[in-house]
Amino acid sequence: MHENDGTNYKKITNENKKGRHASTTERRRIVWEDVMWPLIRDLDKSYFTLEEYRIKRNEVCKNKNFLPKQISGGFISLLHKGIIKHDEKLYSIHYKLIPYIRKKIDLDYGTVLRETHNKGR
């Protein structure tokens, strides 16, 4: 646990037990499955503003007892991987993920990777 202003926060990963790449993957998974995809489903559209993301992130962090800075790297990493795109004031998800919005299903991070990084498609 991490102490900050009298509030105990969960430590997402233990860097000593997991390697750096495993920790980064875990942050991406948390951001996608707990923040990003629920936000996309709630909005029922493939794009969102930074403010919409921050509201959802703060809600999830409060409910799961995380510090926002603990998962901020996951959002940036999703951008670098091309799962999220940034265009002026909007962020959008990869075009191959849009059909999943219409299906209204849970979209886990493993499926996201397979859909967005499959070379044969």
Per-residue pLDDT, 19: 63
Stretch 114-118: mean pLDDT: 89
Calpha distance 68→76 (Å, rounded): 13
Q: Where are the domains of the chain?
A: 15-105
User: What is the per-residue pLDDT across 66-88, written as a single tens digit (0 to 9) for each?
Assistant: 999 988 899 999 999 999 999 99
User: What is the per-residue pLDDT across 18-64, written as a single tens digit (0 to 9) for each?
Assistant: 666 677 889 999 999 999 999 999 999 999 999 999 999 999 999 99
15-105, what's its fold? Arc Repressor Mutant, subunit A (1.10.10)
Per-residue pLDDT, 121: 45
pTM above 0.75, yes or no: yes
Per-residue pLDDT, 70: 87
